């Protein structure tokens, strides 16, 4: 990995390079995505089936789009019992963590005759997109569905691309069933997002779409936003390790590569105050890359977006971490809890040398659907809040409104909204 001295110039160069990965920069695909979305909106199942054959090689009919009970049973028979057991343990942790996020309706009654409050209501229906292809991502299935179940969503629909045989990856299907999905459909890509947003003869529309996907899925979610809600426009994965001379270079190198292997746009950055650690980590990375299965992806990812930044002070290192606002931030210092208090921007923060990023991906419980590409400055991880909506509650008796009614009228008339003022005034006419 390249070792760079951290200064204002190098920091700005790296930030500019990382921003190139923003899905909003891939405007060349937008016209194609809009065409797919409009086609599904207008031609519904007919367009869905055409795209499924064209992009996934699966020749389905409308009555085969929905996953059947028989297919679910078959999926469970094909999944190793040991993996099912691990998923159930992971589910328990995820559910317990997200149950602590639940908010409840509240009301505040005052002696003057006012009641103010907030009503919390689960969304009626959500759609969860799960990537398909050769790989299966059951962890993402659990992370997207379980918070919706905890929130109380009644209908949770999963869409995922089928294989050429017209079947869903059995691990994906088993995870979805364990997590509590209501229905699953064999459709992927931008066409699946459009189906969830507008509905077809086979797939009812939903109120919100969540889940990761490729650039076509990301741009389709952007295109349908407003017709439905979405969780976020997810960018490539990223990790930043903040370390001092006490860190174990072999652990740090392994953790950097745990994200670099996702794809060629993934980012892996070490920010440290120790040149010795920087050199040791670089050496360990080279050794690991030679041994790991996704060597070509790792090499490309590190070449494009891999950095080791050496800072003069820990304060400079922390400031760089806050500016980069990484999806995953590991703090491997003598006192990681003290450093953590100075972090403002990160999707998930991992403390200490035994809290490596994959612990969060698979098992600990906090959600692994996280803000990417600097959006941790203003976005949060996926959670129960993403699957509920809130309504304000306002009640005033006549006795409570009377002493303030003229104040409201003055305010409304100052804005030139005389009908607003009149709406209050008529209640106190002689």
Which positions are annotated as active-site residues?
327-328
d(Cα 91, Cα 356) in Å, to the nearest integer?
A: 19
Q: Which of these, 400, 393, 396, lies nearest to 117 by C-alpha position?
A: 393
Dihedral (CA of 36, 38, 39, 41) sign: positive
- Coil/strand/helix, residue 121: strand
Nearest to 313 by CA among 272, 346, 350: 272
Provide the β-strand partners of residue 107. Answer: 117
Alpha helix ranges (H) inside 100-188: 138-151, 170-179
Phi-psi region of 247 (alpha: psi -120 to 50; beta: other; left: phi over 0): beta
- Pure H helices in 295-362: 295-305, 314-324, 336-340, 357-362
Joined together, the tokens standing for residue 319 give 């400031």
* CB contact at 8 A, 236 and 262: yes
Locate tokens 């041994």: which residue?
291
Q: 206, 226 in Cβ contact below 8 A?
A: no
How many whole angstroms separate alpha carbon 295 and alpha carbon 289? 6
Q: Element (H or E) spanning 393, and its range?
A: strand 388-396
321, 349 Cβ separation under 8 angstroms: no
Phi and psi, residue 277, nearest 5°: -65, -40
Is residue 190 within 8 Å of 219, Cβ to Cβ? Answer: yes
The first and second tokens of residue 371, run together, are 């803000």
């Amino acid at each position: 990995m390249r070792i760079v001295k951290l200064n204002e110039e190098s920091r700005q160069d790296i930030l500019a390079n990382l921003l190139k990965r923003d899905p909003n920069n891939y405007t060349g695909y937008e016209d194609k995505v809009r065409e797919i979305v409009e086609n599904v909106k207008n031609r519904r199942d007919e367009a869905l089936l055409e795209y499924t054959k064209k992009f996934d090689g699966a020749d389905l009919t409308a009555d085969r789009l929905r996953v059947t009970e028989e297919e679910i049973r078959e999926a469970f028979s094909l999944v190793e019992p040991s993996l099912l057991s691990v998923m159930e343990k992971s589910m328990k942790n995820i559910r317990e963590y997200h149950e602590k996020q639940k908010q409840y309706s509240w009301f505040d009654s005052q002696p003057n005759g006012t009641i103010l409050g907030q009503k919390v209501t689960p969304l009626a229906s959500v759609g969860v997109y799960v990537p398909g292809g050769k790989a299966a991502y059951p962890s993402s299935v659990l992370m997207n569905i379980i918070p919706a179940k905890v929130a109380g969503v009644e209908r949770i629909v999963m869409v995922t691309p089928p294989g050429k045989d017209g079947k869903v990856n059995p691990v994906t299907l088993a995870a979805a069933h364990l997590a509590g999905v209501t229905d699953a459909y064999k459709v992927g890509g931008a066409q699946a997002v459009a189906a969830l947003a507008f509905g077809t003869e086979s797939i009812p529309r939903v109120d919100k779409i969540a889940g990761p996907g490729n650039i076509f899925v990301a741009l389709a979610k952007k295109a349908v936003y407003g017709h439905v809600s979405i969780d976020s426009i997810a960018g490539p994965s990223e990790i930043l390790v903040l370390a001092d001379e006490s860190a174990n270079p072999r652990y740090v190198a392994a953790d950097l590569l745990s994200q670099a292997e996702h794809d060629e746009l993934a980012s892996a950055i070490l920010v440290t105050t120790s040149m010795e650690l920087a050199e040791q980590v670089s050496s360990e990375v080279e050794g690991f890359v030679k041994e790991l299965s996704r060597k070509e992806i790792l090499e490309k990812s590190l070449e494009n977006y891999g950095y080791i930044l050496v800072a003069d002070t820990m304060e400079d290192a922390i400031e760089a971490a806050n500016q980069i606002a990484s999806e995953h931030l590991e703090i491997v210092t003598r006192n990681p809890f003290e450093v953590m208090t100075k972090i403002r921007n990160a999707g998930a923060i991992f403390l200490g040398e035994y809290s490596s990023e994959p612990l969060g991906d698979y098992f600990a419980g906090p959600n692994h659907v996280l803000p990417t590409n600097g959006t941790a400055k203003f976005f949060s991880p996926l959670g129960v809040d993403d699957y509920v909506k809130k309504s304000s509650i306002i009640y005033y008796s006549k006795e409570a409104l009377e002493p303030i009614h003229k104040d409201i009228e003055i305010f409304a008339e100052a804005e030139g909204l005389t009908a607003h003022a009149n709406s209050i005034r008529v209640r106190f006419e002689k």
